[in-house]
Structure 1
Amino acid sequence: MSIRSLLHPLGFLHRADLLDLGWSAERIRSATADEGCTLLRRQWIVAPEAPAIVRSAAAAGARVTCVTATSLQGVWRPGHDDTGHVRLPPHSSGRCEGARVHRSLETVAPHPRSLIDRLENALAAVADCLGYEDALAVWESAVRIDLVSREHLMAVPWRGPRARRLAADVGDQSDSGLETLGLVRLARAGVRMRQQVRILGHRVDGLIGTRLVLQFDGFAHHRASDRRRDIAHDRRLRLSGYTVLRFDYHEVVNDWPRVEREILAAVAQGLHHRPRLP
């Protein structure tokens, strides 16, 4: 048995896990060096390929939290900031260079042998750290990929009002963070968008009225086959009398006022309630 066979997928291991398996202190020291790992703060064994923020958290006696912790688990992350986020105890004077440090009280007790904050704590940090729209997009992404259920989020006794608001508002329909942003922003403009409506055999991201289809393309590039499928579905929708507006990541995140103007213009023309005429 090697240390590497026991590492967390993010490249760390608590020294106590090896002691529980009967490893001696000398064996741990020897194996750590032989396998190219590092022992930090006498308790965290970290592999060289571990993300830099994981190594920094271990060295600082912190835990990775907020959008960094959620994104490492596959949750959508707003693209405007890639700073690492860590949590230190509220009264700690510790520092973590290059990271944003959170010191708020935990919602739930952290796992003592993990460098990644519990999901509830990470989501509470997201609620306090991001604006409402981005935070809701992160929460709904966590629900979408089955990290947590909407029912669980509603049942957690959140400490802060922002987390409680998100727990009350979080939905389970969004297929992407962009979709959540579109939903919230259009609602603020007085436009109701229905999500994930099935039309002509495929789901669309949003439908306004009965005829205006909205599609939001994520930051990651689609495979060519997926892109061809999307374009073919757009053609079928148009030939069936729907108006289709498709927006990419940059437009939704960085140019929303223009996106909103175009959607509102389509609504003003009545394209959400009647077939588009030739």
Structure 2
Amino acid sequence: MKIDGIDHQRTLRAQGVARAELLRRTAHGEHRTVRPWYVTDAAPTDLLALLELGLRPTCLDAASLHGVWTPPHTGVHVFRPRMLRLPPELEDVRELPLRRGRMKGTGKRPLQRLVLHGPELRSWPDDDPVPDLGLVLEHAARCLPTVKAAVLMESSLQRRLIGRGQLEQVFLRLPKDIRRPL
């Protein structure tokens, strides 16, 4: 899923942007690098906090970015490449000041617990900062209670964000014990 203010280096190169031009843009403050992405001020800060750690949103958090209705939830659902180790301070705490809300009277953002998803991947399956909706729904089916996963899938269909054929492909990737009740 393409997000305003975030471009993968391969995407920019495929569009014909030369390395020298990327270096010039970085030097002039037009964007900054969050490997392997180039980001501008238009990028959502919540998403940038994850990308800076080498993480991507998935499950409920990525579904909401896709426009799927999501039930209220706590924690930030993320996945990471298998080789990535979280910084020591996050390995134990697994909390980040994410979401746009602020705690009353303090002006600070509340901490949100990181919910790490599997399967851990060797590398990202694509160059987008938010995974495609099929992978997001697969992660949701493996993570959430059946009813909540079904709600995400139904919302995706109702809002025409995914087709029945695509959803059937998601089901085929799920184990029988998860697929059957869905």
TM-score between the two structures when normalised by the length of structure 2: 0.71
In 1: Cα distance, 2:156 partner to 2:55 partner: 23
Note if 1:150 corresponds to 2:164.
yes
1:80-127 deviation line (CA, Å, top 9, x unaligned): 32x332211245423575232213156xx721x111112222111111
In the TM superposition, 1:70-149 aligns within 5 A as 70-81=63-74, 83-90=75-82, 92-94=84-86, 98=96, 99-104=114-119, 110-111=125-126, 113-149=127-163
Using the TM superposition, name which of 72-81 and 95-104 deviates more. Answer: 95-104
User: What SS does the aligned partner of 2:69 have?
Assistant: coil
> Which residue matches 2:110?
none
Identity percentage over the alignment?
28
- Per-residue displacement from partner, 1:10-54 (whole Å, max 9, x unpaired)? 42101122223333323102224545422112x211122322332
Q: Aligned to 1:15, which of 9, 30, 43?
A: 9
- For the Cα contact (< 8 Å) 1:143–1:150, is it kept in 2? yes
Match of 2:175 among 153, 160, 165: 160
Larger relative contact order (Cα-Cα within 8 Å, sequence gap ≥ 6): 2
Query: Matches of 1:16 and 1:151 in 2, distance apart?
Result: 29
Flag the 1:80–1:159 CA change in 2: closer, same or farther, 3 A: closer
Q: Structure 1 pair 163/50, CA: closer, same or farther in 2 (3 Å)?
A: farther
Q: Does 1:63 align with 2:78?
A: no
Contact 1:91 1:103 survives alignment (8 Å): no
| In 1, Cα distance between equivalents of 2:34 and 2:63 | 23
Q: TM-score, normalised by structure 1?
A: 0.49
Q: 1:101 to 1:52 in 2, by over 3 A?
A: farther
Letter in 2 for 1:87: F
Distance in 1 of aligned mates of 2:177 and 2:135: 13
Q: Which moved more, 1:137-146 or 1:125-134?
A: 125-134
Structure 1: any 5+ residue segments left out of the alignment? 1-7, 170-278
Contact 1:53 1:84 in 2 (8 A): no
Provide structure 2 residue ranges, at least 5 long, that are not aligned to the other structure: 97-113
Q: Is the 8 A contact 2:66 2:133 kept in 1?
A: no
SS of match in other structure, 2:137: helix
The aligned runs of 1:1-278 (5 Å cut-off) are: 8-34=2-28, 36-41=30-35, 43-81=36-74, 83-90=75-82, 92-94=84-86, 98=96, 99-104=114-119, 110-111=125-126, 113-156=127-170, 157-161=172-176, 163-165=178-180, 169=182
Structure 1 residue runs of 4+, over 6 Å off?
none
Q: State the superposition RMSD in angstroms.
A: 2.5
- Is the 8 Å Cα contact of residues 59 and 136 (structure 2) preserved in structure 1? yes
* TM-fit CA distance, 1:73: 1.1
Look at both structures and tell me which one has the larger radius of gyration over its CA atoms. 1
Alpha carbons 2:3, 2:129 under 8 Å: kept: no
- TM-aligned CA distance change 1:51 to 1:161, over 3 Å: farther
